[in-house]
Structure 1
Amino acid sequence: MSRIPSPAPRCLRTAAFSVAMGRAQGLTRGTMRHPQYRQPHRGVRAWNAAPSRPQFPEVEAMAKALDYLPRLRVGEAFSHTTALLLLGVPIQASPALHVVTAVTNGQARNAHVTGHRTRRPFRIVRTPAGLPCVQPIEALLQAALMLPFRELVVALDHLSLPGTRHARISVSTSREAVAAELRHARHPRIARMRAAHEVSRVGAESRMESLMHFELARMGLDELELQAEVFSTDGEWIGRFDAAHRERMKLLEYDGEQHRTDRDQYLRDAHRLELARRAGHEILRLHREDFRQDALPRTRIRMQEFLGLVPKPIPARLAAHFAEAYSPLPPLVPDKAIAEPGGRVELR
């Protein structure tokens, strides 16, 4: 049985570290081979046993990125879906790691990481945890080959929000800036990205709100006001609601987990809903389960019937994208696997 090693130095207990750093702190190679130290990557160690598997992809991506950070070289950054998850974009995507570097450098080579090289210049931004990422719109362009149409819309909704969460790392992406980037970008699926931008809306403040207006859009009914301010008949402010049809006085509201786990929030929302009903509004409350794939046909019918609207035809170019909205795309081929004769490599 292996002898239990002395505790790791305090400075090495909270994050993964390189073997060289461990040696500099007095750890021997034998000590760092003990089961008390995880080995997430070659040349990297982390104190304590492997953590339990995180429940959410963004949490797992964060854990994987922190483990890989000691191996990250100057000029490299987390990219593609990894960057989107680390920057708080609420997509459903694999937490597998993607790392990009400039074309003049060698791409990352690791069994647990997909490395990429690019000719496009990119600026590195850091998350609050200090993880270097490409900017959100660059990450989305990189990930366009990996994400279903629905996830592109969710991401664009998020990036178009004023003061969205990634603003805390000094990144600003207005809807106009995104549109300008898409107009000039050269990309294998740029038409698909532009279609997603056309469907996206300013005002969807959560993933579920994005899915709500996405399902309305596929019926040609995405005409509701998002984040609608509602007032009483006396002009007193009642509150904001996820979506509103002003003329018909119909409100759509997503009932999230916080409404059940936070008692104060629950009571505030109950009061707000009651005031809206007194003011003559009808309310349809939707839940996470309503947006499972098997429940979507029923959810669309419920929203349509509640609003009293008849579905409208949508352009054929959009209908084709909505048809593949839930079909996962094939995995992105690593750059090193698409070298052409003569040594030229197709770079994204």
Structure 2
Amino acid sequence: MTGRIPVPTGPFSVRQARAAGLSSDRLRGGDLVSPFRGVRAAAEPDSARAATLAYAPRLAGTHAFTGPSAAVLWGLPIPARSAGPGFVTIAVAKSRTRSVVRGVITRELKPELFDVVELDGTRVTTPALTWCTLARECSLRELVRIGDAMISTNDAYVGRRPGFVPVPVADLLAAVRRWKGCVGVGKLRLAVELLRPGVASPPESDLRMVLDDAGFPDFEVNADLWDDDGTFLARPDLLLRELRLIVEYEGDGHRTDQQQFRKDITRIARLESENYTVVRVTADDLYRAPDALRTRMWKAFDLATLRSGLESA
């Protein structure tokens, strides 16, 4: 009878399985793997998210996922080096019992910082606290990318968890103040000043940071644009309104989706007919040839300045 008890479809704890009647022989079956001690699953995790979910059945009630592990559950854009199955990161309040498990990193937090919520039945640090814990391993630019995703009011933000509630900048500022004396607080203080709401994807954040580092004025992000008659024109990724200069990041969807491709042609032609200078940027421009991109942007900036009759600063 025990052998006919169905095995759970997702990762499960050995303790729960035995309580449900599964035998030790069945739990040692060749169709099951043990991603963590005391856990069984049908396959080894192949991503940070899968590894986090695999550890969830044995997460102690006084612990919570944090750092990259919490970020992937929230659907936030962690760096590629952290997106693999590697290590799971959990948080525990100081004075509580630490877990010592192969493949698991435990971060001790001051009890007053231990801000935790439940997400699909799993304890995770809040987005604001998660952002602070990521400062240990993320660069300034990576923190800006993740912070932009947290505060974005754009419901179509790429990859973010459906129903994610944008974090007010004031909450991030408060979290950074509470993080005083902890690892990475200096980076967090710089990053929070660089965040912009309305960003729709990680590359948009990266593009904005490249232009910011190059010394360009502050661009409006996904702002509505109207013609002189009050007709809606577009919502460009980046805009210098006075110079009528627009920068658009063209992801692969703009190329592979035929309807989107045709809409882009019509939209850009309309913008150019209204005397806007439009610079289109691809992933190759942004990540493989940023120097050439900066040069092209300064040429477009100078041209837009001449067209507008303004002097370049």
Q: TM-score band (shorter)? A: 0.7 to 0.9
**TM-fit CA distance, 1:222:** 4.0
What secondary structure, in the 3-state scheme, does the structure 2 residue paired with 1:133 have? strand
What secondary structure, in the 3-state scheme, does the structure 2 residue paired with 1:271 have? helix
Task: Describe the superposition over 1:294-333 as per-residue Cα deviations: whole angstroms up to 9, x where unpaired.
Answer: 4222222222222229xxxxxxxxxxxxxxxxxxxxxxxx
Relative to structure 1, the CA distance from residue 167 to residue 176 in structure 2 (aligned partners, 3 Å threshold; closer, same or farther) is farther
Relative to structure 1, the CA distance from residue 113 to residue 8 in structure 2 (aligned partners, 3 Å threshold; closer, same or farther) is farther
Partner residue, 1:73: 60
**TM-fit CA distance, 1:279:** 1.8
Relative to structure 1, the CA distance from residue 227 to residue 191 in structure 2 (aligned partners, 3 Å threshold; closer, same or farther) is same
**TM-fit CA distance, 1:166:** 5.8
Partner residue, 1:296: 290
TM-score by length of structure 1 reads 0.76
Partner residue, 2:173: 179
Contact 2:154 / 2:198 at 8 angstroms: preserved in 1?
no
Partner residue, 2:310: none
**TM-fit CA distance, 1:124:** 2.0
Partner residue, 1:154: 145
Partner residue, 2:307: none
What secondary structure, in the 3-state scheme, does the structure 1 residue paired with 2:136 have? coil
Please tell me the residue identity of whatever aligns with 2:71: L
Partner residue, 2:6: 9
What secondary structure, in the 3-state scheme, does the structure 1 residue paired with 2:99 have? coil
Relative to structure 1, the CA distance from residue 188 to residue 275 in structure 2 (aligned partners, 3 Å threshold; closer, same or farther) is same
Distance 1:65 1:117 in 2: 18
Task: Describe the superposition over 1:178-232 as per-residue Cα deviations: whole angstroms up to 9, x where unpaired.
Answer: 2233245312432221111222222322111101110111122142211122223
| Equivalent residue for 1:191, pick from 166, 186, 201 | 186
Distance 1:172 1:235 in 2: 30
- Equivalent pairs counted in the alignment come to 292
Structure 1 residue 235 and structure 2 residue 235: aligned?
Answer: no
What secondary structure, in the 3-state scheme, does the structure 2 residue paired with 1:154 have? helix
Partner residue, 1:279: 274
What secondary structure, in the 3-state scheme, does the structure 2 residue paired with 1:142 have? helix
Please tell me the residue identity of whatever aligns with 2:297: M
Q: CA RMSD in A?
A: 2.4
Contact 2:52 / 2:88 at 8 angstroms: preserved in 1?
yes
- Return 5+ residue gaps in structure 2 as ranges: 304-313
What secondary structure, in the 3-state scheme, does the structure 2 residue paired with 1:308 have? helix
Between 186-195 and 208-217, the greater mean CA deviation after superposition: 186-195
Contact 1:9 / 1:25 at 8 angstroms: preserved in 2?
no
Partner residue, 1:44: 39
Distance 2:62 2:133 in 1: 17
Matches for 1:1-348 after TM superposition, within 5 Å: 9=6, 12-13=8-9, 15-47=10-42, 49-50=43-44, 53=46, 60-92=47-79, 93-95=81-83, 96-121=87-112, 122-127=114-119, 129-162=120-153, 165=160, 168=163, 171-186=165-180, 187-292=182-287, 294-308=288-302
Dislocated runs of 4+, deviation >6 Å: 5-8
Relative to structure 1, the CA distance from residue 196 to residue 229 in structure 2 (aligned partners, 3 Å threshold; closer, same or farther) is same
**TM-fit CA distance, 1:113:** 0.6
Contact 1:65 / 1:131 at 8 angstroms: preserved in 2?
no
Contact 2:35 / 2:44 at 8 angstroms: preserved in 1?
no
Distance 1:131 1:172 in 2: 20
TM-score by length of structure 2 reads 0.84
- Return 5+ residue gaps in structure 1 as ranges: 54-59, 310-348
Task: Describe the superposition over 1:128-152 as per-residue Cα deviations: whole angstroms up to 9, x where unpaired.
Answer: x443210111112112121111101
